[in-house]
Amino acid sequence: MRAETPMADKQETVLQGTPVSPGIGIGPVHVVARGFSAPEVYEISEKDIPAEQERFKAALEETKGQLDELQERIKAISGEEESRIFEAHLMVLEDRAMLDRVAEAISTRRQNAEFAFYAVMQHFLEAMRRVPDPYLRERTADLEDVCQRVLRNFREEETPRHTEPDGQHILVAYDLSPSDTAAINRRHVLGFATELGSVNSHTAILARSLGLPAIVGIEDAVLDIRTLTPAILDGYTGRLILHPSEETLARYREIQDRKEKVRLDLESQRDEDTTTTDGRAITLSSNIEFIDEIAFVQNSGAKGVGLYRTEFLLLDGEEMPGELEQSEAYTRLAKALAPHPVIIRTLDAGGDKLPVEPLTEPEPNPFLGWRGIRVSLDRPGMFKEQLRAILRASAHGKLAVMFPLVSGLGEVRRAKNYLKECMDELAHQGVPFDEMLETGVMIEVPSAAIIADLIAPEVDFFSIGTNDLIQYTVAVDRVNHHVAELYRPTHPAVVRLIKQTVNAAVNAGIWTGVCGEMAGDIRLTPLMLGLGVEELSVGPHQVPRVRRAIRALSHSECVAMADEALKTPLSPEIMNATVGLARKYYPELLD
């Protein structure tokens, strides 16, 4: 097991990671390890140390008693051999190294006993999870079980009164899933730093969408950083500064003040049209995952929702919501954002995520497997239930429906046929709906971009999902650090596919939007406009910056730059060209 190696008290320490979402957070650190929830943490005085040591001993003794009783019960039911599995649990509670480490942590950390115990055990657990021996790694479950038992046995009524720490904090974790990130309480979390992750991971994308400063790739962060350590998280440079000096704090507060002035200036333009200096109007809308984000969209000044991801609504539970429950959610969106449009993307998840039909074995390559529109077309009952729900809600506002991961014309026609069946069923029942409901497709597979001219006459709009389009075009898993450098939004092939899609849409008289990461990257706004994109859909927190970028640019100058980019053979040269225009017209947003 790795010994705990805490940072030196009060000495400013800089940990370097990879910045994935801009912004600055200043506050105490809260470390979240894997396995189970951390107990409450608070500081204790020197005179409270003996009492905390006694609380720890009492919790251990109660746990030993419970394990002895459990061992005897199992022996009576299943025999002595089976009861011996608890001997390892009891040995943990008598391990002298662990006992001494916790006693020392209570004294040196000056933190309550249960959190000192939790912190020490998490060091042991993290060390065990990282050893190559699979047998030792599997023993972490036993250790976690013992930890949970001990923590449950700390009696709340014996806890001394204490002052609650400030609710706002910087979250430090081994890793965060997209669901973890989406569920973060943004009133309390100032930003987060993780050991794992990449610039293009879904977690990083969500952080940028939510306006959360974030850093990834800080080695051994969970092992080495103490909860309640004062810190600065710099999402611009990727630095996590522990025990910052007064000079460092003053410098970062000055940076925060400067950024706040820019933010206030951006907010003052909230109701301004998103029109370039030479009169090109661009629709600026928002991407959302939760219905509760309506207020963020309204406050941002976005003109509706360009992408409502329905996965959280449909899959966040043991069973999928029914037609009427879905319809209520979509209706709430439609009414709140009227007269602006809301584009609802049908279920875009792999078959392994379906609560009603989990796959019996994992797919060897889920990115090329059963997901997106393929799942919906294979499960028409589920698909039509969602379509009918969208149609019911369309009577209460301006809705549109969009199909994900389309790879060919046949999928588009089959999806539209199901939509037509749903319209006929509701009409027969006398249920009102928008008979002119607009239908669009996501262009995120190269095959769809190449035959965009064949698909365009069948739909009302295209929305380019640049994240997957880049990934599939350059054959790079954006979360694989070995090849992440090859994931380039300005790859000439990607730029040409976007232009080809836009041209096909123009020729068919429909519009093209972008709802992927490229839409919210203000370095790429000149390129997007120059390629002819008419709508950009971004995270609510990105709307003000993108609006400012659009209003500062000359469309004709962007077109000239994009025309040259289409002839340019190297990705860095295209990036330099678009960044050059961005820096020329809105440098204050890039610094």
Taking CB atoms within 8 Å and a gap of at least 24, the contacts of 180-183 are 181/206, 181/207, 181/210, 181/212, 182/206, 182/210, 182/289, 182/290, 182/312
pLDDT at 482 over 90: no
The span from the CA of 395 to the CA of 390, in Å, is 9
pLDDT tens digits for 41-68?
888 888 999 999 999 998 888 888 887 8
- pLDDT of the residue at 186: 78
Query: Left (φ > 0), alpha (ψ -120 to 50) or beta: where does 553 sit?
Result: beta
- pLDDT of the residue at 209: 74
263 belongs to a structural domain? no
Residue with the larger pLDDT of the pair 347 and 319: 347
Task: Locate 460 and state its tokens.
Answer: 């009302």
578 pLDDT band (50/70/90 cuts)?
Answer: very high
Q: Please give the sequence-ordered ranges of beta strands (E in DSSP) within 444-551, or none if there are none.
A: 461-464, 511-514, 535-538
41 belongs to a structural domain? no
Do 62 and 30 lie in one domain? The reply is no
Residue 189, domain extent? 13-34+169-258
- pLDDT of the residue at 8: 46
8 belongs to a structural domain? no
239-242 and 13-16 as β-strands: parallel, antiparallel, unpaired?
Answer: antiparallel
- pLDDT of the residue at 6: 44
Last residue of a domain, one of 205, 234, 258: 258
pLDDT tens digits for 178-227?
657 766 777 889 999 998 888 777 778 778 877 899 999 998 887 788 88
- What does the pLDDT average to over 559-570? 97
CATH of the domain at 176: 3.50.30.10
- What does the pLDDT average to over 323-350? 94
74 pLDDT band (50/70/90 cuts)?
Answer: low
CB 524 within 8 A of CB 556: no
- pLDDT of the residue at 5: 42
pLDDT at 82 over 60: no
Establish whether 515 is a catalytic residue. yes
Do 21 and 54 lie in one domain? The reply is no
283: amino acid identity, one letter: T
DSSP code per residue over 473-488: HHT--TT-TTTGGG--
pLDDT tens digits for 242-259?
999 999 999 999 999 988
3 belongs to a structural domain? no
525 belongs to a structural domain? yes
495 pLDDT band (50/70/90 cuts)?
Answer: very high
Backbone angles phi, psi at 234, to 5 degrees: -105, 100
Highest mean pLDDT among 85-99, 205-219, 435-449: 435-449
239-242 and 18-21 as β-strands: parallel, antiparallel, unpaired?
Answer: unpaired
83 pLDDT band (50/70/90 cuts)?
Answer: low
- How many domains does the structure of the chain reveal? 3
pLDDT at 161 over 80: no
Q: Which of 147, 422, 515, 558 is catalytic?
A: 515
60 belongs to a structural domain? yes
Do 94 and 235 lie in one domain? The reply is no
Residue with the larger pLDDT of the pair 295 and 69: 295
Q: What angle do CA 291, 292, 293 make, to 5 degrees?
A: 90
pLDDT at 543 over 60: yes
User: Across the chain, what does the average pLDDT equal?
Assistant: 86
85 pLDDT band (50/70/90 cuts)?
Answer: low
- pLDDT of the residue at 37: 64
485 pLDDT band (50/70/90 cuts)?
Answer: confident
Q: Which of 169, 202, 340, 541 is catalytic?
A: 202
Do 350 and 448 lie in one domain? The reply is yes
555 pLDDT band (50/70/90 cuts)?
Answer: very high
| Range in 242-256, 309-323, 414-428 the model is least confident about | 309-323
Query: Left (φ > 0), alpha (ψ -120 to 50) or beta: where does 228 sit?
Result: left
- pLDDT of the residue at 526: 98
CATH of the domain at 527: 3.20.20.60
Rounded percentage of the chain residues whose pLDDT exceeds 90: 54
Do 72 and 123 lie in one domain? The reply is yes
CATH of the domain at 142: 1.10.274.10
505 belongs to a structural domain? yes
**pTM higher than 0.85:** no
Residue 34: burial class (beta carbons within 10 Å; 0-12, 13-18, 19+)? middle
Do 389 and 464 lie in one domain? The reply is yes
Rounded percentage of the chain residues whose pLDDT exceeds 70: 86
Establish whether 558 is a catalytic residue. no
148 pLDDT band (50/70/90 cuts)?
Answer: confident
315 pLDDT band (50/70/90 cuts)?
Answer: confident
How many residues are there in the chain?
A: 591
3 pLDDT band (50/70/90 cuts)?
Answer: very low
Do 521 and 409 lie in one domain? The reply is yes
- pLDDT of the residue at 279: 96
- pLDDT of the residue at 2: 36
The partner residues of 402 in beta bridges, in order of sequence, read 345, 440
CB 233 within 8 A of CB 25: yes
- pLDDT of the residue at 434: 97
Do 130 and 184 lie in one domain? The reply is no
Do 509 and 578 lie in one domain? The reply is yes
Last residue of a domain, one of 258, 283, 307: 258
Do 273 and 315 lie in one domain? The reply is yes
pLDDT at 86 over 60: yes
pLDDT at 423 over 90: yes
Edge-first strand listing for the sheet containing 24-32:
13-16, 239-242, 230-234, 24-32, 169-173, 189-194, 214-216, 18-21
- pLDDT of the residue at 448: 98
Do 188 and 291 lie in one domain? The reply is no
pLDDT at 84 over 80: no
| Range in 65-69, 130-134, 367-371, 577-581 the model is least confident about | 130-134
Do 420 and 278 lie in one domain? The reply is yes
| Range in 75-84, 106-115, 125-134 the model is least confident about | 75-84
4 belongs to a structural domain? no
Task: Locate 335 and state its tokens.
Answer: 């009414």
Last residue of a domain, one of 101, 123, 158: 158
CB atoms within 10 A of CB 557: 18
